Structure 1
Amino acid sequence: MTDQVLILGGRGRIGSSVAQDIATHTQAQITITSRKPAAGMAVSDQLGPQVQFLALDLADVGKLEDAIARTNLVIHCAGPFHYRDASVLQLCIEQGVNYLDVSDHPSFTRKALAYSSQAQSAGVTAIVNTGIFPGISNSMVRQGVEQLDEPERIHLSYLVSGSGGAGLTVMRTTFLGLQHPFEALIDGKWQKIEPYSDREVIQFPPPYGRAGVYWFDMPEAFTLPDTFPVKTVITKFGSVPDFYNHLTWIAAHWFPKRLIQNRNSVEFLARVSHLMTDVTNPFSGIGVAIRSEVTGRKQGQKAGFCSTLVHDNTAIASGCGTGSIAQLLLEGKFKKPGVWAQEQALPTDLFEQTLISRGITLHQEWLEQQD
């Protein structure tokens, strides 16, 4: 029988990229959903005969349950996840259906991970935080950790050009990440961090070169310390062109907190930002760069391992990240009942195989360390 995949929020840029990747690499029949029938049908027509459309509002629990019952795999792409609970995951567990999502907000990640024992009992494999970052970036960290005998410090840097080829949801997520201080593990102690603070200039691969990144609240800030025995985890994010960084810094540090925490204000800022990137995208591109640096000890000596990735379309890269795990689940090559962040579940050898099959190359090097 043909595998059935349900992609919630599949009309959006990220969801449709996931659908395209699965259609390219599997024979599965894919159903994408949206609350807007005309727009959803237009996207499904563009994606080809493997993809069909279902008008669905996640608030319609009965219709959602029926849709999940007819599928082998559910992929949740209907963000922003700041506003979501884990009800879709709960329904999947109740019906014994495997689950993936592209969530990127720590509050949602914590809600989802709380269902791990139920998923394990039901034999359901559920992976959260798939995509590009978090997602591929987490597996890059795992790959680096496995090179060392004693990993101590993880430094993740993300850079996105313009809109990244994504829609309004990603813009909303950026401003939602500025609302509150968050905790990060530094030198073995959890410390409060102000979002978009402590600018650091990082050397990325061409075409980016040196670019500024800032502290940003990501699920990796707590899933990586839960997974690996490290003392420090740094997660930083930046934009290209650089003036977007300065505008975001102003929003984080000069705007009244009540303004940035207001849902209508976030929507306004997201829409204005998206209009601005429509102007700059032709010059900046819509790509992404990731730099993962893991330092510690190997054979008793200080050592560091650095992995970098560049892709010319952030949304497509995210589709590759989620689609690759979907492919492994559908083909029966990967199974791990429970709810996991990607780095906790996906073996490095499978991660590397899926990147190769999608033409994505990682540049890796050992870093010189001084005792």
Structure 2
Amino acid sequence: MTDRVLILGGRGRIGSAVANDILKHTQTDITITGRSPEGSLSLGERVRFLQLDLGEVDKLRDAIAQSNLVVHCAGPFHYRDTQVLEICIDQGVNYLDVSDHRSYTQKALNLHQQAVEAGVTAIINTGIFPGISNSLVRQGIEKFEQPEKIHLSYLVSGSGGAGVTVMRTTFLGLQNSFEAWINGEWRLVTPYSDRENINFPHPYQSSGVYWFDMPETITLPHSFPTVKTVITKFGSIPDFYNHLTWIAAHIFPKWLMQRRYMIEFLSHVSHSMTDLTNIFTGIGVAVRAEVTGTKDGQTVVYAATLVHENTAVVSGVGTGSIAKLILEGKLKHPGVSPVESALPTNLFTEIMQEREIQINSHWVTM
């Protein structure tokens, strides 16, 4: 019997990339959903479209009941409740999402025990960052006798090939200060502060990144309790976008940045700007994951890097590859878990090699 995957928000850039990866690497049938009619959407023979608003609970429940796996791509997740995940747990259906905000992550993790009792594998924060980035960290952590510090740096060119939703996520992330795990305690950090110039692989080289609130800021300290510091920083190409974002974070009044109309305005203006700059910068992504710790009596740094020409596509790879493992029965991890807790390094290495995603790494002695 053919597996069926339900992709909520499957017409968006990220959802489409997830669908393409699953179609390429499995024989699964896919149902993708959207709030508006299908229109001119081109669907293959293994894909069908379902018009669905997440507020239509009965229709949503029926769609989940007919699926072996649900992939939630309907962001932004700042506004989402855990209704989809709760229905999956009630119906015993495995679950993935591309969530990228700590508020949703915390709510989802609260359902861990219910998922364990239902035997449901629910993996949250899949994609590129968070997602593949978390697995790069786990890979590094396992090389140390005593890991102490994690430093994650992300860089995106232009729009990254994503839609307006990702722009909304960026500006929503500027609204409030957030807690980060620094030197063994939770400290309040201002978003888009403390610029660092990080050496990324070609073609990015030295580029600026800033503090940014990501789910891994809270999941990594719990997944790896010996680690005393977790830093998550993000930057854009071209660099003037960083300066504009800094102004939005530090100069614009907080009350204005917390208005939805302002977020919508900034998101659409930014996306229109990237339509132009994408021509010159491309839409790629670079990730650098550094783990510092003790190995053979020395303090050393393990650095792993990944570059891809299309941010949305590699996000789809991160989620689609985990979907394949679940559908094949290779990955069973009952409960609600972030990627670094659920995905063993051997399976991560396997799916990256299968998709020809190149990861480079090196050691630095302190």
Aligned-partner residue type, residue 143 of structure 1: Q
Which structure 2 residues correspond to residues 119-198 of structure 1 after superposition, within 5 A? 119-198=115-194
Give, in whole Å, the separation in 1 of the partners of 2:45 and 2:302.
43
Aligned-partner residue type, residue 304 of structure 2: S
Candidates 49, 56, 62, aligned match of 2:58: 62
Equivalent position of 2:358 in the other structure:
361
- Report if aligned partners of 1:288, 1:310 keep a CA contact under 8 Å in 2: yes
Which structure 2 residues correspond to residues 225-264 of structure 1 after superposition, within 5 A? 225-228=221-224, 229-264=226-261
Aligned-partner residue type, residue 352 of structure 2: L
Mapped pair 1:111 → 2:107: yes
- Any idea what the Cα deviations from partners look like across 1:198-221, whole Å, max 9, x if unmatched? 000000000000000000000111
Q: Which sections of structure 1, spanning at least 5 residues, go unmatched?
A: none
Which structure 2 residues correspond to residues 14-53 of structure 1 after superposition, within 5 A? 14-39=14-39, 42-45=40-43, 48-53=44-49
Regions of 4+ moved over 6 Å: none
Give, in whole Å, the separation in 2 of the partners of 1:325 and 1:147.
23
Mapped pair 1:324 → 2:326: no
Mapped pair 1:278 → 2:239: no
Aligned-partner residue type, residue 272 of structure 2: L
Aligned-partner residue type, residue 339 of structure 2: Q
Equivalent position of 2:342 in the other structure:
345
Equivalent position of 2:97 in the other structure:
101
**Residue 44 (structure 1) shift:** 4.5
Give, in whole Å, the separation in 2 of the partners of 1:126 and 1:44.
30
**Residue 318 (structure 1) shift:** 0.2
- Report if aligned partners of 1:304, 1:367 keep a CA contact under 8 Å in 2: yes
Aligned-partner residue type, residue 242 of structure 1: D
Return 316-325 or 359-368, whichever deviates more.
359-368
Give, in whole Å, the separation in 1 of the partners of 2:185 and 2:61.
43
Equivalent position of 2:211 in the other structure:
215
- Report if aligned partners of 1:44, 1:52 keep a CA contact under 8 Å in 2: no
- CA 1:366–1:43 in structure 2 vs 1: closer, same or farther (change >3 Å)? farther
Equivalent position of 1:308 in the other structure:
305
Equivalent position of 2:70 in the other structure:
74
Alignment length (residue pairs):
365
- Report if aligned partners of 1:123, 1:338 keep a CA contact under 8 Å in 2: yes
**Residue 246 (structure 1) shift:** 0.2
State the SS of the aligned residue for 1:351. Answer: helix
**Residue 43 (structure 1) shift:** 3.6
State the SS of the aligned residue for 2:2. Answer: coil
**Residue 38 (structure 1) shift:** 2.9
Aligned-partner residue type, residue 287 of structure 1: G
- Any idea what the Cα deviations from partners look like across 1:338-366, whole Å, max 9, x if unmatched? 00000011000000100111110000101
Equivalent position of 1:12 in the other structure:
12
Give, in whole Å, the separation in 1 of the partners of 2:361 and 2:37.
45
State the SS of the aligned residue for 1:217. Answer: coil
**Residue 35 (structure 1) shift:** 0.6
State the SS of the aligned residue for 2:234. Answer: strand
Which structure 2 residues correspond to residues 193-204 of structure 1 after superposition, within 5 A? 193-204=189-200
- Any idea what the Cα deviations from partners look like across 1:176-209, whole Å, max 9, x if unmatched? 0000000111111211000000000000000000
- Report if aligned partners of 2:285, 2:307 keep a CA contact under 8 Å in 1: yes
Give the structure-1-normalised TM-score.
Answer: 0.98
Give, in whole Å, the separation in 1 of the partners of 2:234 and 2:4.
35
Give, in whole Å, the separation in 2 of the partners of 1:52 and 1:17.
16
Give the structure-2-normalised TM-score.
Answer: 0.99
- Report if aligned partners of 2:38, 2:51 keep a CA contact under 8 Å in 1: no
How large is the Cα RMSD of the aligned pairs? 0.7
- Report if aligned partners of 1:6, 1:32 keep a CA contact under 8 Å in 2: yes
State the SS of the aligned residue for 1:38. Answer: coil
Percent identity of paired positions between Structure 1 and Structure 2: 67
Give, in whole Å, the separation in 2 of the partners of 1:87 and 1:110.
14
Give, in whole Å, the separation in 2 of the partners of 1:131 and 1:49.
26
**Residue 37 (structure 1) shift:** 1.4
Give, in whole Å, the separation in 2 of the partners of 1:267 and 1:88.
25
- CA 1:37–1:148 in structure 2 vs 1: closer, same or farther (change >3 Å)? same
